[in-house]
Amino acid sequence: MTDGPLILSLGKPFGEWTSWEPGLRWQYDAGGHMLIACFSDPSVNDIAAVSAEDLEFGLFVRDELIVMLIRAGTLAWMDVEFCIHKIPQELWPELEVPVLPHEHVLVSVVLVDTSATVRALRAVTWSPAFGKRFMRAVLAQSRRPYNEAAFTARLRALYTRYSTRELLALCEIRTIGGA
């Protein structure tokens, strides 16, 4: 990968990637928050939903597990786990910085297809309460001892027990992304 900021443009590759597996990826590092959704063959409706319709977020936290739930417009709810320990520590954001009551957290949202071509790109904000709760969860996660096998087993057990819809019902906080 090249050094320097990642510059994304519609219709262009996502950085130096040439392929992408369908699904969601949540990136949170010193560069900020980025939700990357890969659809095999995004339809015009998928692109419009991610580009311009309401983006809803839900946050599920249990012990060291953090799961973000996301829906773009009328698309189905999707989920993605987040683990700060999977990010090289030198790339960690400043976790001790408080989110003040009037501050909104900026989130970049990118839709790519399986050839890693950027199909939709936008930025939204989380409500201050949502951003503060997410930051508290990540800080708590960062302070817990991490064992990859144990984490993976707990995550697998969570996904075996709960569907995306059930996780959504268990979210402690939800927000609609603002422009």
pLDDT digits (tens, 9 = 90+) for 27-65: 887 677 899 999 999 999 999 999 999 999 999 999 999
Predicted confidence at residue 32, as pLDDT, reads: 79
Contact assessment for residue 29 and residue 91, using Cβ atoms and an 8 Å cutoff = yes
Cα radius of gyration rounded to whole Å, the chain = 16
Using DSSP, state whether 158 is helix, strand or coil.
Answer: helix
Give the Cα-Cα-Cα angle 78, 82, 86 (nearest 5 degrees).
140
The two tokens of residue 133 are: 């709760």
Residue 133 above 70 pLDDT?
A: yes
Among left, alpha and beta (phi > 0; psi -120 to 50; other), residue 70 is beta
CA dist., res. 179 & res. 174, Å (int): 16
CA dist., res. 60 & res. 33, Å (int): 17
Q: Provide the H-helix boundaries in 66-163.
A: 128-143, 148-161
* Mean confidence (pLDDT) of the chain: 89
Which of 74-83, 95-104, 127-136 has the weakest average pLDDT? Answer: 95-104
Contact assessment for residue 131 and residue 103, using Cβ atoms and an 8 Å cutoff = yes
Give the Cα-Cα-Cα angle 83, 87, 92 (nearest 5 degrees).
100
> Which own/partner pairs from 148-153 qualify as long-range (CB within 8 Å, at least 24 positions apart)?
148/85, 151/64, 151/65, 151/83, 151/85
Predicted confidence at residue 100, as pLDDT, reads: 57
Per-residue pLDDT averaged across 151-177, rounded? 96
- pTM attached to this predicted model: 0.88
Residue 179 above 80 pLDDT?
A: no
Which of 78-82, 84-88, 99-103, 135-139 has the weakest average pLDDT? Answer: 99-103
Per-residue pLDDT averaged across 122-131, rounded? 91
Contact assessment for residue 171 and residue 59, using Cβ atoms and an 8 Å cutoff = yes
